[in-house]
Chains A and B, each alone.
Chain A
Amino acid sequence: MKRAECIGMLYPDLDDKLVVTIMGACAQELYDLGHKENFFYLQHAMGLASSIGLGLALHLPHEKIVVLDGDGSVLMNLGTFATLARYQPGNLVHIIFDNGSLLSTGGFDSHTTSGVTDLAAIARGAGITHVATADSVMAFGEAVVEAFARNELSVIVAKVSAVGPNHYGMDLHLPENAFRFKRYIAGRSTR
């Protein structure tokens, strides 16, 4: 299964949600489907996408937050699972694309390669109840439908192949993305 297929499947269902992605391939594949004002691309600061998601979720309880994360990023901030478990934001869906690779920085194996490290088990062990794993597009789709329907913290670990886009670049400056994302949220809150 490719990450791009999963993101393509998610894309039509993201309009009513706030989306935070990690850097590199994941951000590019979402952007290439068409940027929307409810997307924030964290192009650095690896590990903090889920922390941004938690900050959004706790302060905007009426919004649904989707974090698109990766194994390399999550491995840099494993404590995030424990913090998420402690506060249990019911409006947060944390999707981790696990390609076992630091793809965007040269394709070195990450610790999850060959099943050495099990991110889903770590999430469960941290105290998160709803943790799904998916290794087919069908299973991913089902896990997403269930996670979007329930009002409880959900983590999905999707096993994907280590392939990304053949180009990188966005017509969007990083602070511009932040300014527009904040402005969009403010506009949505008053609606």
Chain B
Amino acid sequence: MSVSYENSKIVYQGIKDAGITSLSALPETWLGLLLQQAERDPAMTLIQVAKEEEAIGIAAGAHFAGERHILLMQNHGFLAAMNGIVSLAQLYSIPLCMLIALRGHWGEPYPWHTRGGIVTEGVLRALNIPFEYARNPQDVGRQIREAYTLSQSSLSPVALLLTRDLMEEPL
């Protein structure tokens, strides 16, 4: 299995078309090609973190600064960022537009990803975080734009789950 180069380009273009100028991220396999494009893009500020919860603070700072910022993380990173999401973003009404690589779900061959994959949707629901699954390259640009719009109008976290269908080359 390999990461889809074409679809990574489409997702990055969707990020650009949404007017995003700043990204925080922790690299992971499915996000690798996206981050390479961000690194090469002089119009994009890319901030890589040591742990995903830092990115919640950075996103808050970017929001205060008036910057159009999104967060890229794996679902296990989302789980690691929990207190920041609850006790910074939700407590203070700070928008977060999170693009989350949904590892450990349908078709997952690696056992270590599965527990996080199985609980991700339940955790999102428990936190009242609106989410959608991104499966089709034709739709993902619109979904990113709409996720960002909702995060800003609701002043709250919003998640777009990047699925295997979108991020990996078909077998």
Interface residues in chain A, defined as those with a beta carbon under 8 Å from any beta carbon in chain B: 40, 42-60, 77, 79-80, 82-83, 86-87, 174-175, 177-179, 181-182, 185-186, 189
Contact = CB atoms under 8 A, between A and B. Distances in A.
Contact of B58 (A55, A179, A182): A55
Interface of A is mostly: helix
B84 interface: yes
24 contacts: A45-B57, A45-B83, A48-B84, A51-B54, A51-B60, A52-B61, A52-B88, A54-B47, A54-B57, A55-B58, A55-B62, A55-B63, A55-B65, A56-B61, A59-B61, A59-B65, A83-B49, A83-B54, A86-B48, A177-B92, A178-B93, A179-B93, A181-B64, A185-B64
A55 B61 contact: yes
B136 interface: no
Nearest to B62: A55
Contact of B56 (A51, A177, A178): A51
Contacts of A82: 50
Given A45-B83, A79-B51, A174-B92, A52 B65 contact: no
B171 to A, nearest CB: 37
B58 A52 contact: yes
Contacts of B88: 42, 44-45, 48, 52
Nearest to B58: A55
Contacts of B56: 45, 48, 51
A51 B56 CA distance: 8
Contacts of B65: 55-56, 59-60, 185
Contacts of A42: 88
Given A56-B61, A181-B64, A79 B83 contact: no
B92 A55 contact: no
Contacts of A52: 57-58, 60-61, 64, 88
A178 B67 CA distance: 15
Contact of A44 (B61, B91, B94): B91
Contacts of B48: 83, 86
B54 A80 contact: yes
Contacts of A179: 93
A135 B51 CA distance: 31
Contacts of B59: 55
Contact of B60 (A55, A175, A186): A55
Contact of B49 (A53, A59, A79): A79
Given A40-B64, A55-B57, A59-B22, A45 B84 contact: yes
B23 to A, nearest CB: 11
Nearest to B89: A45
Given A44-B88, A59-B45, A79-B51, A182 B57 contact: no
Contacts of B67: 59
A182 B66 contact: yes
B94 A178 contact: yes
B91 to A, nearest CB: 6
